[in-house]
Amino acid sequence: MGVYKDYFLSNFPKGGAEDILRYVHSAYLNNWKFLRVQELQFGPSKNVFPYNLNAHIDSNLLALNNKYPGLKATSKINEARNWRYTLISYENIRLTASNVDSPTTAPRDSSFRNYFASCQYRWDVNNGNLEPCQLTKIGDSLIYGLVIHSPATDNPILPAFIHIAFPNQSCSGYLDRINLFKEYPSLLESLRKEEMEQIPDKSEVKLHIQEGLL
C-alpha cells in the first residue's frame, strides 16, 4: 500500500515524526521512573502502569505544539468528559496515541477515534490516489493516524514497537502504517544508547625519544 505513509511523510513537518518516536520512547522511561519513585510493588503497579504511560505519552506529545509552523498539539476531552487525549493537527492530518496489544490490534472503541477514522481519506485502488471521504463534506476529509505502541513483554520499560498506523473508516483495522523503529533506526539506536556512559578513546601514548636511543 504505502499511500497514507507517503502522504504523511511528504506533508507532515520534517522532524515531526522523529519527535513522535523520541517523545513516546522517553515517555516509557519516564513512566517507569515515576512508578519506581512511588515505590509501588510489582503486582499492584501493573494496574496503574497503562494509565500512567498514556498520561506520560500524551504529556510529551503536547511539546509538539507550535514546534513547527502550523503544527498544533492540544489536550482535548472526550464526549463523555471522562478522558483527555492529545490531538496533533497539521493541515488535514490528525494524530492521537493509543496503547494496543500488537501492531495489528485495533484500538479500543472510542467516539473521538471513531469520528476521526470515519473522516479518513479513501484509497482508490483503481487510480492509486487518495480520494476524499464521501461521508464528510469535501475539505473535511482527514489523514488520520494512530500512534500505536505497546510495552515489550520481556522488558515493559521499553516499547516493543511504535507505529503511526492509519485506521480504516470503521477504525477496526489498519490501511497503512509507518514503523518508526524501521523508519528511523539511527535515532532509535541513539535513544537506546542515551543512558550508556560512552567512554572516549583517550588511551594515547606519547612518544618521547631520548637521545642515544635512536
Partner 1 sequence: MKGTPGFVGERLKEAREARGLTTIALADLLNITKQAISLYELGDMSPQPDMMQEIAYKLNLPIAFFLRPIKHNSNNAVFFRALSAANKSDRGRGRSRMRWLYEIVVPYLRQFVTFPEVNIPEVGNMANPLRLTDDDIENIATQVRRQWGLGDGPISNVVLLMENNGFIITRMDLESPTLDAFSNFPMLFGNTPYIILGNDKQSAVRSRFDAGHELGHLILHRSIKDSDLNKTTDFKIIEQQANRFSSAFLVPMNKFSEDFSLPTLNAFRALKSKWLVSIALLIKRAYDLGFISDEHYRKLWIYYNHKGWRKEEPLDNELPIEQPLLLRRAFASIIEAKIRTPEQLLSELPLSSKDVEDLIHLPEGYFNPSPPEIKLKFVPLSNTDCKSAVEEAERIIKRKS
Q: Which stretch binds partner 1 (CB under 8 A): 5-13, 32-40, 64-72, 139-147?
A: 32-40
Is the Cβ of residue 132 or residue 156 nearer to partner 1 in the bound state? 156
Selected from 69, 154, 186, 211, the binder of partner 1 by CB under 8 A is: 154
Residue 62, interface with partner 1 (CB under 8 A)? no
Among 155, 170, 172, 190, binds partner 1 (CB under 8 A): 155
Question: Environment class of residue 171 by beta-carbon count within 10 Å: exposed (0-12), middle (13-18) or buried (19+)?
Answer: buried
CB of 22 to partner 1, least distance (A): 18
Residue nearer to partner 1 on the CB measure, 11 or 47: 47
* Phi, then psi, of 160 in degrees rounded to 5: -75, -35
Q: Does 190 bind partner 1 (CB under 8 A)?
A: no
For partner 1, give the closer residue by CB, 109 or 211. Answer: 211
Phi, psi of 31 (to 5 degrees): -60, -45
Contact 17, 184 (CB under 8 A): yes
- Is 211 a residue that touches partner 1 (CB under 8 A)? no
Round to whole Å and give the CA distance between 67 and 72.
8
Q: Please state, in angstroms and rounded to a whole number, the distance separating the CA atoms of residues 20 and 29.
A: 15
SS3 of 63, please? Answer: helix
Site residues (CB under 8 A) for partner 1?
29, 32-33, 36, 42, 152-158, 192, 195-210, 213-214
